[in-house]
Amino acid sequence: MSLPVYSGRFGVAQAERLLWRAGFGPRPGEARELARMGLRGAVHSVTRPRSQALVGPPPHVQSGAALQPFDVWGNDVLWWLDRMVRGRAQLVERMTLSWHDWFATSNEMVDSQRLMIAQNWTLRRRCLTSFPRLLNAITLDPAMQTYLSLVGSTKQDPNENYARELQELFTLGVDNGYTESDVREHARALTGFTNTWDPSTGQPVDFHFDPKLHDDGVKVIYGKRGNFGWRDSLRLVLAHPDHPRFFVTKLWSYFSSEPLSRADLRAAERIYMSSRQQIRPLVEAMLMHPAFVAGERMVKPPVVQLVGMLRGMGRYIDTDDWVWQSSQIGQTPFYPPNVAGWDATRWLNTGTWQARFNLTADMIGEKRALDPAKDKVKAEPKAMTRRALAFWGAPQISATTLRALHGYAEAAAIGAASADWERQQYPALAENALRALIVASPDYQTC
C-alpha cells in the first residue's frame, strides 16, 4: 500500500506552496521554474538537491563586520538564518528546523553557542537519512546531553529527564505505550555519560561514555528483561509497536494541518517501516499527497515568514535586527520555549501579527522605500499593485486580495488626493503601503 499521489494541475501556485512548506519560500522566478518540472520532478528536486552550496554575499552586521557565531550573542541565530536565506538545499534547512523543534534544545540552558551549532550540524547531516541514525546521533549530542541532564546520570543517581522525553516527545507520544516503570528503567539503561571541563574557558568538553558510571544490572522495559544499555534503550523504543504511528503523525504535522485518513496513516507507516525507518522516502510520499499539494492552507512559521521575505526581495543577512525581530514574531532559532518545542497553534495572535506587520518596515527600510518627493509614480492602481507584488518576488495572491489591493491603491492614490502636491506624492506613498499590505494579507501569511 502506498500513499495517494496528487493528480491535478501542478502550476505556479502549487510549486510556490512546495517551496514554502519544504523550504523558506521562492526566490523570484523559482516557482515558475519548478512548475515546469511537474510534481514528481519538483519534489525530487527538493528532496535530492544537487548542491548544498550557499549562494550570495556572506552575512554581516550593520558595521560590516563578519559574524562570530560561536562568540557573539545573536550571531549564532544570524549564522543559521543566513543558511536558510542563501542555501540551495532548502528542504535540508527546513528539515533541520523541524528536527530542532522535534528535539528541542535551548541555549538558555546549554549556554554554549559552539555546542548548539554542533548539534545543528548533526541534525543537518542526518535530516533525511534514517530516524534510528538521527536518534542515535542526538542521544550522543553534547548539547542534548547537557539540556536533558543525560550527562551526569549515573547508576547511583539516574536522571529521568532524557528517558521521559525520549518516549513522550521523540518516539511514542504523551502517556502512550509506556509506564512510569519504563521511564525509570530506561533512565537506568541510559546512565554512564559524562564529560570534563576546560579550565581555561570553563566550557564542558570531552563528552563520553564511562562504563564505570553505568548501571549494568537487569532492567525490565516494555516487559522485556536484560542488562540493557543506552543502545538497547533506543532499539527497544524504536521497535515499540506504537512508534510508527507517532512518528508518521508528527512528521506529517510539519507539512499539513489536515490529519491523514486511517488508510493513509497505515500506508505511511508501511513506507516508514519497510524502508527500515528511512526519512527521505516518507517525506517524498508526503510532499506528493493531495492534502499537501491542494489541501487547507497553513500559517507560515515565524522564521519561515522572515526568511521568505528576505528571499523574495533579494536581501541577505546585513543586520542583527533579525535576532530581536525573530523573538518579537515568536520564533528564535536555538531558543525554543521548552522541551516540547514551539506551539504552532500560537503562530498568529494579536501580538505576533502586529510584530509581523512591523517586521515589514525593517525589511523595506528607508533605502528600499519609494521617496514621494523624488520617485514619480503614476496613479495607475493595477500597475502600482504589480510593482508592489514584484518587490516581494511576485507571490501568488487570490483574486479577492488583488481586488482589495486595487481598491486601496485607487482610494489612496487618486481618491484621497486633491491638491497638486498630493496628486504628485500620494501614488508613491500608496505603493509603499501596498508592499506592506501584501505581506500582511492572509494569502502571504499562509501557504
pTM (predicted TM-score): 0.96
Pairwise CA distance, residues 248 & 269, whole Å: 6
Pairwise CA distance, residues 285 & 264, whole Å: 11
Q: What pLDDT does residue 49 have?
A: 95
Q: What pLDDT does residue 250 have?
A: 98
Q: What pLDDT does residue 1 have?
A: 67
Positive or negative CA dihedral for 211, 212, 214, 215?
positive
The pLDDT tens digits of the residues spanning 150-208 come to 999 999 999 999 999 999 999 999 999 999 999 999 999 999 999 998 888 888 999 99
Strand partners, 219: 226
Q: Please list the rounded mean pLDDT of every run of 10 residues in the chain (447 residues).
A: 94 98 98 98 97 96 96 97 98 98 98 97 98 98 98 97 98 97 98 93 91 98 98 98 98 97 98 98 98 97 98 97 96 98 94 91 93 93 96 97 95 82 90 96 96
Nearest to 182 by CA among 135, 223, 239, 240: 223
Pairwise CA distance, residues 74 & 425, whole Å: 39
Pairwise CA distance, residues 294 & 13, whole Å: 10
